[in-house]
């Protein structure tokens, strides 16, 4: 199928899965394709673009400067690279340590919209805070003036069954609502970044507001 056809099919699936009032941004993860294919997806109507490596982020960002896009960084970000990109990123999805937050605080020249990454399923191989850790760290995150915690992000295990996926996404939604209710300075926490090619339907059904889709757009 062409990229246009993939976009049409995925947007159709999304419309069926979401509730009428659900706000949802569809992010194209372009880490495995070049600028030409990225341009095709933009022409098909997608204006949220995500990369997971600093070099490819910068390359595409500059090659696509003419376009009106919202830029997402979804990968693990090394502290020494923060200064190279942080001011260009509209949404940073992988805030996974206090040390990284401190570096962003130091380098950003305006408040950056960030998602705290949560390892809901407790997989040893995954980045992110546990639910308990994040509850404890909220007062510290609140102090950063260059970090606005807009929401929570998670990645479900690759081999999770639908039932487990629903459970993981529901758990993240509950935590997001719990934090939002606290009305903490710099932590509105109204958004949920969850759902990838293999599990975006389940994530949307559980209230996702940002889905990050790669492979399915470019297959
Ligand atoms: C690659 C990636 C995605 C997209 O995954 P697909 O399976 O290609 O849809 C989403 N989120 C993160 C953090 C990724 O690294």
pLDDT tens across the length of the chain (219 residues): 899 999 999 999 999 999 999 999 999 999 999 999 999 999 999 999 999 999 999 999 999 999 999 999 999 999 999 999 999 999 999 999 999 999 999 999 999 999 999 999 888 888 999 999 999 999 999 999 999 999 999 999 999 999 999 999 999 999 999 999 999 999 999 999 999 999 999 999 999 999 999 999 999
Q: How far apart are CA 37 and CA 39, in angstroms?
A: 5
Q: Quick count: other Cβ atoms within 10 Å of Cβ 33?
A: 19
pLDDT confidence of residue 125: 84
pLDDT confidence of residue 218: 96
DSSP 184: B
Q: Where are the alpha helices (DSSP H) in the chain?
A: 3-17, 35-43, 54-63, 82-85, 98-107, 131-142, 162-181, 200-205, 215-218
Torsion angles phi and psi, residue 56, rounded to 5: -70, -30
Token pair 């993981």 is found at: 168
Which of 28, 33, 53, 74 to mutate for ligand 1's pocket (most ligand atoms within 8 Å of CB)? 74
Which of 52, 94, 123, 154 to mutate for ligand 1's pocket (most ligand atoms within 8 Å of CB)? 52
pLDDT confidence of residue 123: 86
E strand or H helix that includes residue 146: none
Counting atoms of ligand 1 from 1, which one is nearest the CA of 93?
A: 13
CA of 29 to the centre of ligand 1 (A): 6
Which residues have C-beta atoms less than 6 Å from ligand 1?
Answer: 29, 31, 52, 74, 155, 196-197, 212-216
Give the residue whose CA is nearest to atom 4 of ligand 1. 214
Q: How far apart are CA 178 and CA 212, in angstroms?
A: 23
CA of 212 to the centre of ligand 1 (A): 6
Q: Which of 111, 196, 214, 215 is nearest to 153 (CA)?
A: 196
What's the whole-model pTM score? 0.97
pLDDT confidence of residue 1: 87
Q: How far apart are CA 103 and CA 95, in angstroms?
A: 11
């Amino acid at each position: 199928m062409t990229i246009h056809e993939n976009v049409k099919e995925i947007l159709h699936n999304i419309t069926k899965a979401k509730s009428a009032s659900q706000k949802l941004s569809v992010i194209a993860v372009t880490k495995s394709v070049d600028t030409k294919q990225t341009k095709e997806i933009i022409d098909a109507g997608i204006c949220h673009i995500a990369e997971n490596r600093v070099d490819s982020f910068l390359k595409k960002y500059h090659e696509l400067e003419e376009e009106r896009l919202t830029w997402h960084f979804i990968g693990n970000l090394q502290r020494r690279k923060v200064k190279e990109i942080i001011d260009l990123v509209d949404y940073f999805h992988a805030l996974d340590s206090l040390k990284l937050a401190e570096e962003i605080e130091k380098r950003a020249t305006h408040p950056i919209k960030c998602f705290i990454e949560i390892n809901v399923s407790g997989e040893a191989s995954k980045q992110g805070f546990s639910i308990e850790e994040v509850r404890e760290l909220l007062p510290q995150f609140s102090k950063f003036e260059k970090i606005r915690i807009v929401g929570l992000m998670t990645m479900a295990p690759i081999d999770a069954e639908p039932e487990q996926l629903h459970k993981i996404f529901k758990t993240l939604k509950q935590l997001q609502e719990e934090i939002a209710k606290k009305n903490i300075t710099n932590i509105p926490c109204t958004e949920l970044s969850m759902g990838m090619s293999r599990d975006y339907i389940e994530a949307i059904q559980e209230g996702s507001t940002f889905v990050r889709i790669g492979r399915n757009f470019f297959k």
